[in-house]
Amino acid sequence: EIVMTQSPATLSVSPGERATLSCRASQSVSSNLAWYQQKPGQAPRLLIYGASTRATGIPARFSGRGSGTEFTLTISSLQSEDFAVYYCQQYNIWPPWTFGQGTKVEIK
């Protein structure tokens, strides 16, 4: 099973600032990595797939990079609606599909 590790667990950022979230895989997942955003009481929403491709309707301030075992999600200028929990997921080797434990982006 591929273990996904996200850091930090919590990121405190002021509106308008940049946020950078990290995700590490226990073995290579190539570019088969997705990022999801989850707000309280809501289902996860796909942000990024293929490590760097934004899903339909996702603003350009969200960007993903990486391949192999190291990945980042960057939010270039945080808006109020971006404060949420973010999960990475590998879909290179399955089953199981595995998620990171999440990074909470909170208002500083």
Partner 1 sequence: EVQLVESGGGLVQPGVSLRLSCAASGFRFREHSMNWVRQAPGKGLEWLSYINTDSTTIYYADSVKGRFTISRDDAKNSVYLQMNSLRAEDTAVYYCAGDSGISDWFDPWGQGTLVTVSS
**Smallest separation, CB 104 to partner 1 (Å):** 11
Rounded CA gap, 20 and 103, in Å? 10
Q: Which of 66, 84, 89, 105 binds partner 1 (CB under 8 A)?
A: 89
Q: Does residue 86 bind partner 1 (CB under 8 A)?
A: no
Q: Which residues pair with 11 in a beta bridge?
A: 105
Interface pick for partner 1 out of 30, 32, 52, 76 (rule CB under 8 A): 32
First to last CA, the chain: 35
Sole window of 21-29, 45-53, 65-73, 74-82 interacting with partner 1 (rule: CB under 8 A): 45-53
> Pick from 81, 28, 72, 14: which is nearest to 48 by CA?
72
Nearest to 105 by CA among 79, 86, 88, 87: 86
Interface with partner 1 by CB under 8 A: which residues? 32, 34, 36, 42-46, 49-50, 55, 87, 89, 91, 94-102
